[in-house]
C-alpha cells in the first residue's frame, strides 16, 4: 500500500541565514521569522557546523563575501557532503554582476538574491524554493517507496518460484521413498563443487556468482522426468531388466522435453519482453534446468544417454550434476541396493575420471571428498 501523502506546512521549515554582518542577519532574520524558524551563523565555519545540527536547515541563505571562508567555498563543501548536498542554497549578496550570478548558480545554488534586500522578493524566492524542496522530497520518498516495493515484489516472486519449482521437483522424488533427501543433498554437493571450481580457467566464465545461483536453483529439477516412469519400474525393489532400464533411461528426455516446452511457453507469452531482466532470467534458468535434466546421464567418453555427447559437448551444469548424482546414488540406500562404503564410492568416482566424468570435475571432488562425506553424514543423520 502506497504511503499517504501528507500536506507539509512551510511554516515548520528551518532557514539558516549566513552573513558576517550582524545588521544583515537582523534584517533578513526579521523578514523571515514571521513565517519560518530562523537560525543564523556569522561565518562560513559556523555555517558548515550549523548545517549538520538539528534542526537541520531546509534552506540556506548564504552571503558570498565573508572573511574566514567565502560563500563559494561553503557551498562547495556543502555539496560535497552526503549529509548536506540536498539542502538548497540561495546566495544573498551585494555582488550583482551577471558573471557573479552565473558563477554562483554553477556551484549548485538554486537562486541568487542581491542586496539591498527587498522583503517581498526575498520572501517570494524563499517560498518558491521551499515548495520545490517539498516536492523533491515527496518525489524522493515516493521513488524510494517504489524501489522498496519492487525489491519486495521481486523477492516475493523469487520465493514463490523457488517453492513452486522445489515442490515440482519433489513430485518425482516423492514417488521413490528410499531416496530420502536426494534433492537437498545433491544441491548442497553441487554448490560446494562449483565454489571449488569457480576460479578454474576452464570454468570461471560460466561459474560466475549468477551462473552458480542459476545452476544451484535448477539442480532439483534434474530428475523431473521420473514422473513419466511407471511405478513398477521406478519402485522395483531389484535391479532392472535391460528392457526396464531402457524405459528408465527415458526420464532424462521426458524431463528435458518438458522444460523445453516451458521455455517455448515463456517465449510465446512474452514475445516483446525478451530484453526484460525477469524474462531473461527465466529463460536462462529454464535453459540450464533443461540441460541438467536432459544430459546429466551423458558420459565424458560418449557412452552415456540420451544423445551420446562427448567431453565438453556436454553442458557444464550437466557434467557437474552427473558426478554429484552418482556420488549420492552410490552412497545412499536404494530400493535395489544397500549404500556403498564411502571409500568404495570415492574409488569408483576416481576410476571414472576421464571416462564417465570430466577429469577436472573429478579432481575438484577429490579435493573436497572429506567435506562431501561430512555433508552426506550430516544430512543422512538429520534428514533421512
Tens digit of each residue's pLDDT, the chain (384 residues):
444 444 445 557 899 999 999 999 999 999 999 899 999 999 999 999 999 998 899 999 999 999 889 999 999 999 999 999 999 999 998 887 888 888 988 999 999 998 888 999 999 999 999 988 888 888 887 877 777 777 766 666 665 566 556 556 656 555 555 454 788 899 999 999 999 999 999 999 999 999 999 999 899 889 888 888 898 888 888 889 999 999 999 999 999 998 888 778 767 766 655 555 555 656 788 889 999 999 999 999 999 999 999 999 999 999 999 999 999 999 988 767 788 999 999 999 999 999 999 999 999 999 999 999 999 988 875 444
Among the listed residues 324, 322, 329, the one whose alpha carbon sits nearest the alpha carbon of residue 298? 322
Domain with 318, as residue range(s), is 175-383
Residue written as grid cell 524563499? 126
| Pair 202, 129 in one domain | no
137 and 181 both lie in a single domain:
no
Residue 138 and residue 179 in one domain: no
Residue that terminates a domain, selected from 95, 127, 143 = 143
Is residue 166 in a domain? no
Between CA 253 and CA 365 the distance in angstroms is: 27
Give me the pLDDT at residue 162, please: 60
DSSP state of 219: G
Which pairing describes strands 37-41 and 14-18: parallel, antiparallel, or unpaired? parallel
Number of structural domains the chain divides into: 2
Model confidence, pTM: 0.59
The answer on 245 and 130 residing in a single domain is no
- What is the distance between the alpha carbons of residues 7 and 35, in angstroms, rounded to a whole number? 17
- Asked if residue 310 is part of any domain, the answer here is yes
Which residues, 6+ apart, have CB-to-CB distance to 268 below 8 Å? none
Residues 18, 71 contacting (CB under 8 angstroms): yes
Judge whether 288 lies within some domain. Answer: yes
CATH number of the domain where residue 49 is located: 3.40.50.2300
C-beta neighbour count of 183 within 10 angstroms: 20
Q: How far apart are CA 304 and CA 319, in angstroms?
A: 11
Nearest-5° angle of CA 110, CA 107, CA 130?
20
- Same domain for 349 and 304: yes
Which tens digits make up the pLDDT trace of 244-255? Answer: 999 999 999 999
Q: Would residue 208 count as lying in a domain?
A: yes
Looking at 119, 143, 167, the residue that finishes a domain is 143
Q: Is residue 162 part of a domain?
A: no
CATH code of the domain containing 274: 1.10.3210.10
Is residue 138 domain-shared with residue 205, that is, in the same domain? no
Q: Exposed/middle/buried for 362, CB within 10 Å: 0-12, 13-18, 19+? A: buried
The three-state secondary structure class of 308 is coil
Q: Are 345 and 205 found together in one domain? A: yes
State the pLDDT at residue 81.
Answer: 93
pLDDT at position 104 is 87
Does a structural domain hold residue 126? yes
Could you tell me the strand order of the sheet in which 59-62 lies? 37-41, 14-18, 59-62, 89-93, 111-114
Quick one: three-class SS letters along 75-100?
HHHHHHCCCCCCCCEEEEECCCCHHH
Pick from 117, 156, 138: which is nearest to 28 by CA? 117
Same domain, 114 and 188: no
Which pLDDT belongs to residue 135? 85
Q: Are residues 139 and 71 in the same domain?
A: yes
Do residue 357 and residue 276 come from a single domain? yes
**Distance between CA 90 and CA 109 in Å, rounded?**
6
Q: Are 136 and 18 in the same domain?
A: yes
Is residue 159 situated within a structural domain? no
Residues 60/66, Cβ–Cβ less than 8 Å? no
Residues 250 and 139 in one domain: no
Please check whether residue 2 lies inside any domain of the structure: no
Where a domain ends, among 100, 127, 143?
Answer: 143
Residue 23 has which C-alpha cell?
A: 545588521
Q: Which stretches does DSSP call E strand in the chain?
A: 14-18, 37-41, 59-62, 89-93, 111-114
The reported pLDDT for the residue numbered 1 is 45
Amino acid at each position: 500500500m502506497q504511503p499517504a501523502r501528507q500536506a507539509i506546512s512551510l511554516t515548520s521549515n528551518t532557514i539558516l541565514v549566513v552573513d558576517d554582518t550582524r545588521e544583515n542577519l537582523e534584517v533578513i532574520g526579521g523578514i523571515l521569522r514571521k513565517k519560518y524558524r530562523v537560525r543564523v551563523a556569522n561565518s562560513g565555519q559556523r555555517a558548515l557546523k550549523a548545517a549538520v545540527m538539528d534542526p537541520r536547515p531546509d534552506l540556506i541563505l548564504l552571503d558570498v563575501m565573508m572573511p574566514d571562508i567565502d560563500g563559494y567555498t561553503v557551498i562547495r563543501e556543502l555539496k560535497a557532503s552526503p549529509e548536506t548536498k540536498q539542502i538548497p542554497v540561495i546566495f544573498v549578496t551585494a555582488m550583482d554582476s551577471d558573471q557573479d550570478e552565473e558563477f554562483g548558480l554553477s556551484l549548485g545554488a538554486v537562486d541568487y538574491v542581491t542586496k539591498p534586500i527587498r522583503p517581498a522578493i526575498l520572501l517570494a524566492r524563499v517560498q518558491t524554493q521551499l515548495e520545490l524542496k517539498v516536492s523533491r522530497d515527496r518525489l524522493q520518498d515516493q521513488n524510494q517507496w517504489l524501489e522498496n516495493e519492487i525489491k519486495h515484489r521481486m523477492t516475493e516472486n523469487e520465493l514463490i518460484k523457488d517453492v513452486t519449482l522445489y515442490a515440482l521437483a519433489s513430485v518425482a522424488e516423492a514417488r521413490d521413498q528410499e531416496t530420502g533427501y536426494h534433492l537437498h543433498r545433491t544441491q548442497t554437493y553441487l554448490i560446494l563443487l562449483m565454489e571449488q571450481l569457480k576460479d578454474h580457467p576452464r570454468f570461471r566464465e560460466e561459474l560466475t556468482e549468477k551462473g552458480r545461483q542459476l545452476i544451484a536453483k535448477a539442480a532439483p529439477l534434474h530428475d523431473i522426468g521420473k514422473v513419466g516412469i511407471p511405478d513398477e519400474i521406478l519402485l522395483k525393489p531389484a535391479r532392472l531388466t535391460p528392457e526396464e532400464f531402457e524405459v528408465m533411461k527415458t526420464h532424462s528426455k521426458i524431463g528435458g522435453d518438458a522444460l523445453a516446452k516451458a521455455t517455448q511457453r515463456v517465449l510465446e507469452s512474452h514475445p516483446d519482453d525478451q530484453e526484460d531482466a525477469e524474462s531473461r532470467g527465466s529463460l536462462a534458468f529454464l535453459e540450464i534446468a533443461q540441460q541438467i535434466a536432459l544430459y546429466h546421464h551423458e558420459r565424458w567418453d560418449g557412452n552415456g544417454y540420451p544423445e551420446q555427447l562427448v567431453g565438453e559437448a556436454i553442458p557444464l551444469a550437466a557434467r557437474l550434476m552427473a558426478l554429484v548424482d552418482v556420488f549420492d546414488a552410490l552412497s545412499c540406500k536404494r530400493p535395489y541396493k544397500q549404500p556403498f562404503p564411502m571409500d568404495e564410492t570415492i574409488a569408483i568416482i576416481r576410476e571414472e575420471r576421464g571416462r564417465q566424468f570430466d577429469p577436472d570435475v573429478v579432481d575438484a571432488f577429490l579435493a573436497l571428498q572429506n567435506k562431501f562425506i561430512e555433508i552426506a553424514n550430516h544430512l543422512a543423520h538429520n534428514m533421512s
